[in-house]
Amino acid sequence: MTSNKKLLILPGDGIGPEVMRQVYRVVEWFDRKRIVRFDTAEGLVGGAAYDSAGTPLTDETMAQAQAADAILFGAVGGPKWEKLPFAVRPERALLRLRKELGLFANLRPAIVFDPLIGASTLKPEIVRGLDIMILRELTGGVYFGEPRGIETRADGTRRGVNTQVYTTSEIVRVGRVAFELGRKRKNKVCSVEKANVMESGELWREEMQTLHDADYPDVELTHMYADNCAMQLVRNPKQFDVIVTDNLFGDLLSDCAAMLTGSLGMLPSASLGEADSTGRRKALYEPVHGSAPDIAGKDMANPLACMLSFAMMLRHSFDMTEQADMVDAAVRNTLERGMRTTDIMQTGTARVSTSVMGDTLLRELDKLA
Ligand code: NAD
């Protein structure tokens, strides 16, 4: 039995605690079955932390996050805190965690589960069996580049400036994550930029190719322009396995890929930092959805995005492939049994609550153990 994997759980606001409760049950299940024991700690984050301590993330919680092997994050925000000054808004907690943990690689899988194929706006034959990974560089590029700002010119008109900038080291570190992910998947990486019109894109392409040739020649590497990638994602998404791209293009392409699946309540994500000397990376796992104040407290939220984020944690932080596959299979089987929360409801299926979805998932895990 493996033990002492330090896990920090930050449920947050709105439906965050509701979906996280179901993940807790799975953590306890793994412990009960003597498969793995996590050393778990829980903290307040977002509006909940503001209400208790006047800040969306206390220094103590930040220190716990620095010491953790992985962080599982629910969601933050809600109408109660919308009027707060920008510096103490719930969302600032996530930005601080990303910044101080150096989380530069954002992983967003887009998986179409057969029972939910009707939720996609694309034809079933285009998306059936889809399982791709978008890897977005998260801390560089045009969202952070200098100079930036809005200036007023001598003639009274204004000029807005942002700078797209990448260095070799920023490209190489996200490239390594891409090739390593590729090796765990179908061994195919597509690197995406606009090398035809942007020098930063030209550098991106050259550095990816150099890294590939030096350290990852066993992985298939292709290059694609971002506009073509957007088109290919809706034309024939199954041609891809791992797509690696910069912050700006990744922002757009990951949302586009997510919507191939059609359901926000099913989308997990991970953000990874630099590897330390043991190969362990700082890592935060969270569902893509927000705190859903419209359904909070009603036992209606879909817990599966949070559950799939937990499965990503098993896979990427702890190399527990078999256990991650089990959680993924339990999610798949829960859907096969016709269990649906309101957001993924279809005719001929049963509308169930968050907790009943959790009950079913545990029963499916029992069958797989
Ligand atoms: P949202 O994702 O919270 O909700 C959008 C819609 O999807 C709502 O109708 C909601 O009911 C539904 N939905 C979302 N997740 C669901 C789930 N698991 N099960 C069933 N239905 C689900 O986005 P929003 O409404 O734009 O934002 C609400 C709050 O969440 C805001 O305060 C926003 O700032 C915050 N937010 C936080 C994060 C985060 O914590 N990472 C991300 C996005 C938004």
* Mean pLDDT calculated for residue range 198-212: 98
Q: How confident is the model at residue 3 (pLDDT cuts 50, 70, 90)?
A: very low
Q: How far is the CA of 295 from the centre of ligand 1 (A)?
A: 9
| Range with lowest mean pLDDT among 73-82, 238-247, 252-261 | 252-261
Q: How far is the CA of 321 from the centre of ligand 1 (A)?
A: 29
* Mean pLDDT calculated for residue range 185-194: 98
Q: Which of 82, 138, 264, 284 to mutate to test the pocket of ligand 1 (most atoms within 8 A of CB)?
A: 264
Name the amino acid, one letter, at 369.
A
Beta bridge partners of 150: 160
Look at residue 2 in the predicted model and tell me its pLDDT: 45
pLDDT digits (tens, 9 = 90+) for 36-67: 999 999 999 999 999 999 999 999 999 999 99
Encoded tokens for 69: 């092997």
Q: pTM for the complete prediction?
A: 0.94
Task: Write the CB contacts of 255 (distance below 8 Å, at least 6 apart in sequence).
Answer: none
> In the predicted model, is pLDDT for residue 332 greater than 90?
yes
Catalytic residues: 143, 194, 227, 251, 255
Q: How far is the CA of 123 from the centre of ligand 1 (A)?
A: 26
Distances in whole angstroms, Cα of residue 10 to Cα of each of 23, 78, 243, 269, 308: 12, 16, 29, 15, 16
Look at residue 280 in the predicted model and tell me its pLDDT: 87
> In the predicted model, is pLDDT for residue 118 greater than 50?
yes
Q: How confident is the model at residue 1 (pLDDT cuts 50, 70, 90)?
A: very low
> Ligand 1: does its nearest atom lie under 6 Å from the Cβ of 293?
yes
Nearest CA residue ID for atom 37, ligand 1: 290
Look at residue 321 in the predicted model and tell me its pLDDT: 95
**CA gap 265, 312 in Å, rounded:** 16
Task: Write the CB contacts of 60 (distance below 8 Å, at least 6 apart in sequence).
Answer: 43
* Mean pLDDT calculated for residue range 25-40: 96
Look at residue 355 in the predicted model and tell me its pLDDT: 98
Q: How confident is the model at residue 4 (pLDDT cuts 50, 70, 90)?
A: low
> Ligand 1: does its nearest atom lie under 6 Å from the Cβ of 75?
yes
> In the predicted model, is pLDDT for residue 285 greater than 70?
yes
**CA gap 3, 56 in Å, rounded:** 31
Q: How confident is the model at residue 203 (pLDDT cuts 50, 70, 90)?
A: very high
Q: How far is the CA of 74 from the centre of ligand 1 (A)?
A: 11
> Ligand 1: does its nearest atom lie under 6 Å from the Cβ of 10?
no
Q: What is the chain's mean pLDDT, rounded?
A: 96
> Ligand 1: does its nearest atom lie under 6 Å from the Cβ of 45?
no
367: phi then psi, degrees, rounded to nearest 5: -70, -30
Q: How confident is the model at residue 347 (pLDDT cuts 50, 70, 90)?
A: confident
Q: How confident is the model at residue 257 (pLDDT cuts 50, 70, 90)?
A: very high
